């Protein structure tokens, strides 16, 4: 998705994209040599791991493997995050100027780390206008020397990879604003959830949320309780449509768990007309598969236009 052009709701996209990382990231560990080690930035690969799991096949690297290029990301810690989270949850309008003044990482911190990386031969591959992430490319040898990570050959069902097996670290004087360093373990890859097509049945010619939950073997006690699902659309669905759908498919979701928040005045007439059906489907299915979650629809004037 392209960067939202309207600064009035840029903060919302940042919050939704980064919330999970900020909730689980822990503080770095200060090592004996005074560096800050980011233990959460890698998954352990035990030397004696069974072959059915990621396991080391060789601790020494060849010259060619050490010269391989790897892309990684250094994410900076946003300021006053709890306050930002409260504001977003309340539906408060947060301008780009306020984001810069109170919440985004300081540009000076971003630029200081960028200069440190460039001085060590790294390439910054993308520019982040919100100075929240540094997108970095370097060789395994450069990364190992600068970040202190040890790399090894790691085997998985997808093949062999050159991956970090110890946590990366940074000098303490530039690490204070860093949240984490990701991408140093290319053996960790996204994969599709296994599903069972035979478990899908049809109800009056249609597939229901219960069918999808059954197809993906979702445990019965997993219903989204304690979570909030945020949906961004250029329309507000009719409450009567939502209730009718949930009742017709036997979902336990109700309007009590649903909140619609207009952003910058809410949808315009054209967007409301063209996007209402999609907004309804998004809310209906979110509630259908996660009836224990809170649903929050952020209704914006219109969806951003994606580049061709």
CA angle 212, 213, 216 (to 5 degrees): 85
How many Å apart are CA 7 and CA 109, to the nearest integer? Answer: 22
DSSP state of 219: -
pLDDT at 240: 92
Taking the whole predicted model, whether its pTM rises above 0.85 is answered as no
The more confident residue out of 38 and 15 is 38
pLDDT, tens digit, 9 for 90 and up, residues 117-154 = 999 999 999 989 899 999 999 999 999 999 999 999 99
Mean pLDDT of 227-237: 92
Contacting residues for 109 by C-beta, under 8 A, at least 6 apart: 76, 131, 174, 176, 177
Buried/exposed code over 39-78 (b: 16+ C-beta within 10 A; e: otherwise): ebbbeebeeeeeeeebbbeeeebeeebbeeebebbbbbbb
Report the Cα–Cα distance between both ends of the chain, in Å, rounded: 11
How many Å apart are CA 96 and CA 132, to the nearest integer? Answer: 14
Q: Which of 22-31, 64-73, 232-241, 296-305 has the lowest mean pLDDT?
A: 22-31
Mean pLDDT of 75-92: 86
Split at pLDDT 50, 70, 90, the class of 23 is: very low
Structure-token pair, residue 81: 């995050």
């Amino acid at each position: 998705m392209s960067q939202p052009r309207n600064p009035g709701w840029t903060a919302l996209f940042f919050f939704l994209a980064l919330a999970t990382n900020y909730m689980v990231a822990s503080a770095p560990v200060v090592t004996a040599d005074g560096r800050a080690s980011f233990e959460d930035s890698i998954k352990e690969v035990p030397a004696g791991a069974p072959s059915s799991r990621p396991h080391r096949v060789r601790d020494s690297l060849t010259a060619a493997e050490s010269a391989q290029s790897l892309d990684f990301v250094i994410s900076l810690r946003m300021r006053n995050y709890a306050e930002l989270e409260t504001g977003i949850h309340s539906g408060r309008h947060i301008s780009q100027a306020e984001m810069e003044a109170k919440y985004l990482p300081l540009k000076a911190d971003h630029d200081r780390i960028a200069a440190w990386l460039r001085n060590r031969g790294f390439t910054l591959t993308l520019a982040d206008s919100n100075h929240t992430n540094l997108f970095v490319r370097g060789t395994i040898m450069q990364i190992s020397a600068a970040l202190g990570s040890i790399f090894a050959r790691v085997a998985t069902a997808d093949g062999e990879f050159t991956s970090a097996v110890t946590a990366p670290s940074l000098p303490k004087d530039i690490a204070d604003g860093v949240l984490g360093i990701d991408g140093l373990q290319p053996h960790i890859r996204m994969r599709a959830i296994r599903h069972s097509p035979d478990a899908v049945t049809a109800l009056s010619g249609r597939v229901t949320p219960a069918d999808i939950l059954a197809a993906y073997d979702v445990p019965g006690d997993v219903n989204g309780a304690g979570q909030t699902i945020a949906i961004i659309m250029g329309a507000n669905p009719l409450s009567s449509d939502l209730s009718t759908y949930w009742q017709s498919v036997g979902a336990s979701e109700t309007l009590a768990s649903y909140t619609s928040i207009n952003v910058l005045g809410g949808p315009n007439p054209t967007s409301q007309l063209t996007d209402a059906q999609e907004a309804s489907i998004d809310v209906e299915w979110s509630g259908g598969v996660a009836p224990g979650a809170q649903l929050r629809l952020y209704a914006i004037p219109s969806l951003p236009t994606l580049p061709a």
